[in-house]
Structure 1
Amino acid sequence: MERRDFLASGSGATALALAAASGLSPAYAQNAPGWNKTAFETKSLADAAKAMGATSAPVESKDLILQAPEIAENGAVVRVAAQSNIANTSQISFVVEKNPFALAAAFDIPAGTDASVSTNVKMGQSSNVYALAKAGDKYFYAVKEVKVTLGGCGG
């Protein structure tokens, strides 16, 4: 199966996230069904949520658990994960506040599955990282500050 066929056959956001994680060309991902170009060009959590369909500001939730390192020695590969215990979660996204384009990844969560995802994101500098979950017509977030060190020297 060719990459473009794979991307066309899957969920748009999931295919995009898989494409980014596997190093597939962004040109293929941008043609995937469900690609939300506007959302991936946003500069903030609020703008990303709005571009993804939020009608009100996301609210912080303790039922959305974000895992990210306190210190990332290599900003090019920062492992993040999120688990939503919010009923009817249908999407989980990662937003890196100080990146040029804040929305780093978006995953569609099929009904009846665990709302748990993980991926690597790139961070140009220390920043707040958000997990953003859609449940019904509401958006929820969890946040953690990740410090990116220079040259892996830890400070």
Structure 2
Amino acid sequence: MTSTRRDAIKTTGAFATLVSLGIITQAQANAAVTHDSFAVKSVEDALKAIGGTAASNDQVSVVSPDIAENGAVVPVGASSKLPNTTEIYLIVEKNPTPLSAAFMIPAGTAADVQTRLKMGQSTNVIAVVKADGKLYSASKETKVTLGGCGG
């Protein structure tokens, strides 16, 4: 996707308006800027982009349906009971770009996120949590009956 100057001005203006109205903070606006880790094409590269290999942990959980009827809108979430959780990433193993979502968790906030993701086929959903500077993960398989990524 190529960005144009017009897109940059629109995005900057939108964030400036939200900050000036007090709806979001400047730190949240800066966190919304996407980075190159969303362009990687493999799970291994996605893990490298967010900080390395994650260890499995039973304090991290993935919330995803066992069977998704429509891969275009699959409700997915993750939660962490680990103290000092600062980031949560959702990785969809068989998607063309596996890193699907990134959440920055402010201090004092419950580390529980929900979103909807697109899945082209049955696959594992991996939640990676950064807590105390270390990465932890959990995964869950979701079967997709109707493809969402062009299928």
TM-score interval, normalised by the smaller of the two chains: 0.7 to 0.9
Conservation of the 8 A alpha-carbon contact between 1:93 and 1:106: yes
Provide the residue aligned with 1:84 in structure 2.
80
* Identical amino acids, percent of aligned pairs: 48
Extract unaligned runs of 5+ from structure 1: 16-31
Name the TM-score, length of structure 1 as normaliser.
0.75
Provide the residue aligned with 1:72 in structure 2.
68
The C-alpha deviation readout for 1:48-78, integer Å capped at 9, x for no partner, is: 1211223xx2111110111100000000000
Conservation of the 8 A alpha-carbon contact between 2:57 and 2:138: yes
Report the RMSD for the aligned CA atoms in angstroms: 1.9
* Aligned residue identity for 1:79: P
Q: What is the SS of the residue equivalent to 1:47?
A: helix
Kindly state the Cα deviation for residue 36 of structure 1 after the two structures are TM-superposed: 2.0
1:5 corresponds, among 13, 17, 30, to 13
* Aligned residue identity for 1:49: L
Provide the residue aligned with 1:21 in structure 2.
none
Instruction: Confirm or deny that 1:139 pairs with 2:135.
Output: yes
Name the TM-score, length of structure 2 as normaliser.
0.77
Computing the radius of gyration over CA atoms, which structure comes out larger, 1 or 2? Answer: 2
Extract unaligned runs of 5+ from structure 2: 1-9, 17-25
